[in-house]
Structure 1
Amino acid sequence: MPTTAQAALERLVVDVPDFPEPGVVFKDITPLLDDHDALTAVVQALAAAGRDQAGEVVVDKVIGMESRGFILAAPVALELGAGFIPVRKAGKLPRATYAVSYALEYGEATLEIHRDAIAPGDRVLLVDDVLATGGTLKATRELVDKCGGVVVGATVLMELAFLPGRETVGDLLVKALTTIRPGS
């Protein structure tokens, strides 16, 4: 039986064929964001990855990756009483940064984090909308490592099981609220 968050995802995420390019089916989460009850359920479900089995918060910071990860990670950080850190595309942060470049389906990208965003030993939860090829999560983990932080896990709305995301992120613990399988 699906959770409230899973039911909201099934009901409100809209498939948009051929966006941003032919052959890609984009998962539009804006209807989910527009529904207060659904968004609340999703934020609470994502925040569960930042708690232990007793419900105690086990993270100091929550990272959201540009751009839909920002939308989700900020309220997750509030739910956990943790700080929020944006990881941005190259050239978007105003102070000294660490950078990591990685391969995308259609080319290459670079992500950056402020060098002072994470103190050595800070426990960090990564939050994003989709686990697809895994490049964004892997690159963000590398940025946290450069800062001296410790990634305790990652949580995403959706995992695209037909892409190699889990293989790419290796031993990183990733919790997905729902898994999209081929043909679904």
Structure 2
Amino acid sequence: MSAFFIFVFVMSFTPGPNTMMAMASGQQRGFRSSLQLNIGMLSGMGFMGLMGALFAHWLQSTPTFLTVMKIVGTAYLIYLAYHMFISKPGEQDDSTGGFKTGMLLQLTNIKGYLYFITGLGAFSLTGLLNNMPIKWLLMVLIGSLGTFAWTVCGTMMSRFYKRYYRIFNTIISLLLVFAAADLWR
């Protein structure tokens, strides 16, 4: 059981496209204004988890689906990187901060699919925790805590960000491009 929780926490709190966007949104907009992005990510994560639970076997045995998701994910990450690169503090550009962005980012996040396919299929827990809906709910809640935590960190850095936003935006943009390239390894 501890292996499951270690896996879920490591996958939820380590950097990825969603955590980078959550941090950037916290830096640029603050926590309250970033809630829509985080709720979009939560919704996307819940839907992705349901699809992972229902179609885990098919997803694992259909390389065409993964290739299509990689193409869509790569295009979307590059789109977000561009918008992140050109954004300035205080801009309310929905392309990098709204519900739709959070949902789409999560639905094209290959790391998220692997998170659910592995977490729901590879770990046997004891008692009530082995129930698929309970495991799904735990994974969604802990995964969402990860993005909210990155948003809080971004919010705490906002004053520093406003002074050095060009450096931060460049770094985040490069990390998003790296994440897009990393999909193909």
Task: Give the TM-score of the pair, scaled to structure 1.
Answer: 0.26
Greater relative contact order, per chain length (Cα 8 Å cut-off, separation 6+): 2
The structure in which a higher percent of residues are helix is 2
The structure in which a higher percent of residues are strand is 1
Task: Give the TM-score of the pair, scaled to structure 2.
Answer: 0.26
